[in-house]
Amino acid sequence: MVSRKHTLRLWAFIILVLVTAGVYTNERARHQKVVRVTQQMFVEEPIPKQDEQPIFVDVTSDQHPIEPELNAKPVTEIKPSVSAKPKPVVRTCPATDPDAPDLTLFPISPTLGIGRARPSELVSIPTMFSLSGGFFCLNQVARDSFQEMARAAERDGVLLIVVSAYRSAAHQGQLQANNEPDEHDHASVAAPGHSEHQLGTTIDLTSGTVSVYTFHRFAESAEYAWLVQNAADYGFVQSYRPGDEDLTGYIAEPWHWRYIGVDHAKKLADQNIPLVTYLTNLALETEDSSNGDEQ
Ligand SMILES: [Zn+2]
C-alpha cells in the first residue's frame, strides 16, 4: 500500500518534471525563433575580400575526414591524433589606425568623405546580439552603448539584432558595386569613404522577434518603434529618415542607426532636422569658435 505521504511526493516530482520541461521548451522555442529569423535575412550582402574581412583563423583546417579504404587497418591501430581535439576559432576586428582622429561627429555625406580612414580602435560586439552569430565590430563607446541599449530593449520584450557594423572602405566598395540607386537617384549604399559604417559608430539592425521585419519593413517592427522612443537615451539616432531623401541623398533607412552620444542625440531629437544637417551646423559652429579664438 502506497502511503498518502508517498503519493504526495510522487505528484510533487511529476509536477517538477513537467514545469522543467515547459521552461526548457519555451527557452528552446525562443532560441529557435531567433536562429530562424537570423538565418532568413541579409543573405544578399556580398562577402568581402579576404584581406578586408574580420580575420578568421581556422585552426581546425588541418583536420580532414578520414576516407574509407577497402584495405583500411583495424580502427584499433589508428593512433589518436593531437590535432583531433576541437580548437577555438580566433576572430579579431579589422585593422585600425591608432593615430586616427575621432570622427564620431563628422558630417559624412555623399559629398564629404573620409577617404580610406580607419577608426582608432575597434572592439567586437558579442555574437549573442548579432545575426546568425556573425562577427561585427564598433568603437568601444558605441559598442558599450549598443549593448546597454540592446539589454534595455530586451527587458521591454524586443530584440535588437545587429546585421552590420564597421565596414572598411574596401568592403564598402564591394557593397556599392552590387547596388543601384532608386529612380530618384537616392543611393541605398554609400560610396567608399562616404559611409557612416566606416566611422565604426554605426549599426544596421533587424528584428529578433519577427522574421519578416527586415530592411524597409523593419519600420513596422516593435524593435523600430522602441528605437524611435528610446535610442537617443543611449546616444543612437536614425541617420536617414523618410522625407529627408533629397537632403541626405539616401533612401530612408529605418534599420540604420549611428552613435553620436546622448547629449547630441537628444538635441537632434529636439531640433527634428536630418542628422547630416545637425552635424554640419555643429562643425561650422566649432570652426567659427576656433577661428574666433585665433583672432
Ligand atoms: Zn547601414
188 CA from centroid of ligand 1 (Å): 9
187 CA from centroid of ligand 1 (Å): 12
295 CA from centroid of ligand 1 (Å): 41
Strand, helix or coil for residue 34 = helix
Give pLDDT tens digits for 197-227. Answer: 999 999 999 999 998 898 889 999 999 999 9
245 CA from centroid of ligand 1 (Å): 15
Lowest pLDDT segment from 39-48, 60-69, 70-79, 163-172 = 60-69
32 CA from centroid of ligand 1 (Å): 26
Q: What is the mean pLDDT of residues 68-97?
A: 65
Whether 24 has a pLDDT exceeding 80, the answer reads no
145 CA from centroid of ligand 1 (Å): 17
The C-alpha cell at 34 is 531567433
Beta-carbon contacts of residue 219 (< 8 Å; ≥ 6 apart): 254
Give pLDDT tens digits for 131-167. Answer: 999 999 999 999 999 999 999 999 999 999 999 999 9
Give pLDDT tens digits for 94-127. Answer: 999 999 999 999 999 999 999 999 999 999 999 9
Q: Give the span between the Cα atoms of 191 and 13, in whole angstroms.
A: 63
Q: What is the mean pLDDT of residues 248-260?
A: 96
pLDDT at 252: 95
Q: Give the span between the Cα atoms of 32 and 20, in whole angstroms.
A: 18
35 CA from centroid of ligand 1 (Å): 22
Whether 263 has a pLDDT exceeding 60, the answer reads yes
Give pLDDT tens digits for 275-295. Answer: 999 999 999 998 888 776 554
196 CA from centroid of ligand 1 (Å): 7
How does the average pLDDT of the chain come out, rounded?
80
Beta-carbon contacts of residue 1 (< 8 Å; ≥ 6 apart): none
Q: Give the span between the Cα atoms of 176 and 274, in whole angstroms.
A: 23
